[in-house]
Amino acid sequence: MNTAIHTSMTALEWVMLVALSLLWGGSFFFVGVAVAELPPLTIVLIRVGFAAAILWMIVRVIGLEMPETLGLWPAFFAMGVLNNLIPFSLIVWGQTHIASGLASILNATTPLFTVIVAHYFTTDERLTGNRVFAVIVGLAGVTVMMGPAAIEGIGANVLAQAAVLGAALSYAFAGIYGRRFRRLGVPPLLTATGQVTASAILLAPVTLIIDRPWALPMPGLDTWAALIGLAALSTALAYILYFRILATAGATNLLLVTFLIPVSAIFLGAVILGERLNTEHFIGMALIGIGLAATDGRLGKLARALVHGVVSKFST
């Protein structure tokens, strides 16, 4: 099997990336509802537990079988640790000490870490000037879009900020580690099912010890609806897209989604909640768009073509 990825994403992969950002951007709405009645770890456990149940039902309905390879389930658990257990725990703890806007900006460093990690741990996602430029511009776009208030606390609560940066680094390693599932011949649906199942198993004892969910009041219908949306859309469906993009476009392209998540969250807030879009939102979105366009060198090629066209025109 050819396991090499292509650095220039196809139109379908861009559509899936935008869809993934909408699903993960929408998770802020679901969590915002659920957190009013449930503690964070309980929400995370229900999220991955429900998602695992949904994915197992889909696997059975379409007639697939989870692979029984001895070395595969340890890989699922490793992916669950890198992609869920470590980053979820660090972000939840970090956000108890710093503002969510600052946490979003720090989390948006994921593509920067991914570019560096991919350079040293892969042969087909090497560091290029285009990718560094794209990441810096995209990160600047996220910072502008979140506004100056989001970075007011930078420099304070250093451990909390380091925790969110650690989560971003963990996501980067997860993206690189997750490439092995294509090499092992595991379809994206089965990879998503295995990883989410492993995450639920790992999170269960932690949540039972810390949150004691059996002692919590029964949540209302709105909270249950939010939890179902969080599990079915923002986790089960999202991870199918995640592993589908990862298999063909690679970790560096995939984790650009962290730039798009704030855009999606703000867009959904404007469309669904009627929130106002300000000038900094549009400037930030424009910078993110430039960063995404520069990722695979297309922006540079277009600029060179335009310059060449202008030079040719005036030289004739």
Angle, CA of 264, 100 and 288, to the nearest 5°: 40
**pLDDT tens per residue, range 167-223:** 889 999 998 998 888 888 888 889 899 999 999 999 999 899 988 988 889 999 999
In a domain, 1, yes or no: no
Strand boundaries in 101-249, DSSP class E: none
pLDDT of residue 2: 46
CB 160 within 8 A of CB 94: yes
Could you list the residue range(s) of the whole structural domain that residue 53 is in? 11-315
Q: Which residue has the higher pLDDT, 58 or 301?
A: 58
Among residues of the chain, what percentage have pLDDT more than 90? 20
Q: What is the number of structural domains in the chain?
A: 1
In a domain, 138, yes or no: yes
In a domain, 5, yes or no: no
**Rounded average pLDDT over 239-243:** 90
In a domain, 6, yes or no: no
Which distant-in-sequence residues (6+ apart) come within 8 Å of 84 by Cβ? 44, 48, 195, 196, 199, 202, 203
User: Measured between alpha carbons, how far is 246 from 9 in angstroms, rounded to an integer?
Assistant: 11
* Distance set, CA 284 to CA 6, 136, 281, 292 (Å): 28, 12, 5, 12
**pLDDT tens per residue, range 16-46:** 988 988 888 777 778 778 888 888 888 889 9
In a domain, 292, yes or no: yes
In a domain, 28, yes or no: yes
In single-letter form, the type of residue at position 28 comes to F
CB 22 within 8 A of CB 268: yes
Of 74, 82, 85, 84, the closest CA to residue 184 belongs to 74
Buried b (16+ CB within 10 A) or exposed e, 106-126: bbbbbbbbbbbbbeeebeebe
User: Measured between alpha carbons, how far is 165 from 134 in angstroms, rounded to an integer?
Assistant: 19
